[in-house]
Amino acid sequence: MRNAAALVTAAALITGAHAIGKVTRAGRYLYNDDGTRFYIKGIAYQEQGIVVQSAGNDFGEPSSFTDPLSLDNACTRDLPFLKELTVNTLRVYSVDSSLNHDSCMKTFSDAGIYTIIDLALPLNGSIDRIVPSWSTNILNQYIKTIDAFSKYDNVLAFNVGNEVVVNNGTAVAPFVKAAARDVKAYLESKKSNALVGYAAINGAATFRDPLANYLTCDPDGKGSGATAIDLYGLNDYEWCGDSSFQAAYAGTTGDFAGYNVPAYFSEFGCITPGPRLWTEPTALFSSDMSPVWSGGIAFSYFPASSVQGQFGMVNISSDGKTVTTSDDYDKLKDNYSKVTATPNTPSQSAAGSSTYPSCPTANDTFVASTTLPPTPNPAACNCLLSTLSCRFTPSTANYSAVVGSLLDTACSLLGEKGGSCVDIGGNGQTGVYGRLSACDPTIKLSYIMSKYYEANNRNGQACSFGGNGTVNPLAPTTASAADTAASSCVANPSATFVPTAAASSGAGGASATGGGATAGKNGAMTIMSGNALVGMAGMGIITVVSAFWTLA
């Protein structure tokens, strides 16, 4: 075991900072400035947040996080330990775009360390697995994070999701692909070189492999990469003990032999009980795997717990000043240090250009439609809000906690009046999306409240919703006029376009359960982002399987 005092001398030697090289993609590989292959040799870098175990939290996802790239002293404290591990990449699962990251990002850039930034946030800032939506609140949150980090030279990639799509839940995939499309377009509009990534859960090849292909295909069959991710990550825990390439990785590597974009292990490290020997790098960076994989991220630098056990390389003292390393740290350091010469084939000139095949055909195990949700349009949604006769005006500051239940109530009441919530829903299996499916949950709620208010001849009580609704005196005076105004605002609900940074608004919001383990492996301080709020959490009245909400 080592502590911080033992590395004071090492820290002093980390000088002579220089601009970090640019990593570029050619075909299915990554390359350094000098044309040599670049391999991600990384570690997950985020303290785990508060995890509330419940029947609805199968993934053990936390309700809070600490942004590790905003803690200047902690980054300086950890740098010598990261240098001893010889890592060149950190994966960070949740960041707060409102904080300053200059010091940490410069510290790591000067040390030659890149970052992979996940754009999602726990609880309410990601694409929900059960009731998915690609909506203005999530897009705006993603854009704010991109804007906060695009000025740094050591951002390798932005992940649009982590373990969002799982077995028996593949209808959510179109929402992830739509997010990749819009984030990619936004990055290109900013002339950013950052890659667009996704980190997938490992599992049965019957859904894992079609998902990987789906995320890099062209729905139009024209070879375009506009909707494709640039970097595929697989959270892979197949190697345990002193295993071997043939025993642990040969099958998965064979499955990805023909893959069309750079791929890496976005997490690796044994999660079954017993000592973690960390012998994976001997295979991961070898010629057995280099034709397919471009490295990996060891999980995790900070302590993390799950139903499988406790993991982590270091422990931090209660005053945050001292680092004590573990046996895991020493074993990973020993094995990472053996990775001194990585295969350098193919050459950059021989890597070829990127290709994007047609999308896989949907089947019983992979049901995702190739028709994607539209680009969220804040201007259209805000225009619509101005026309609504009954608006959500929460009676509590913690309004994110009531949006889901109020949507349940409003849809149920509207259904009793013969109305429908179809306009706010979306179905990733059929590829049918309501005209307001990309608006944030508060606007969707105001819309359904208004429909119910109109169905009750504008009776004031029909807009109350327990004191959470207010009649809008500036709304059109008749229901037909309101419908005309709404149609004018949302004139092209299926449009796709290059997003722009939106002005801050009081309404944020996203999904209730988070987008998979993105929320499951992040830190522990900020409980709720001001950029997002819970959306349609408890739509128990609505058919969850189809995610398409119609009430008879």
Q: Which residues are catalytic?
A: 163, 267
Length of the chain: 552
Q: Which helix (H) or strand (E) holds 102?
A: helix 102-110
At position 64, the amino acid (one-letter code) is: S
Give the other-Cβ count within 10 Å of 386's Cβ: 12
CA dist., res. 492 & res. 380, Å (int): 9
Tokens, residue 53: 């175990």
In angstroms, the CA 217 to CA 211 distance is 10
Helix or strand holding residue 44 (H, E): strand 40-44
Spatial neighbors of 139 by CB under 8 A, at least 6 apart, are 179, 182, 375, 376, 499
Per the structure block, which two tokens stand in for 309? 């056990």
Question: What does the H/E/C string look like for 291-304?
Answer: CCEEEEEECCCCCE
Q: Cα–Cα distance between 3 and 342 in angstroms, integer?
A: 30
Q: What string of DSSP letters covers 361-417?
A: PP-SS----SSPPPPP-HHHHHHHHHH-SEEE--SSS-THHHHHHHHHHHHHHHHHT
Query: CA 131, 307, 251: angle at the middle one, nearest 5?
Result: 80
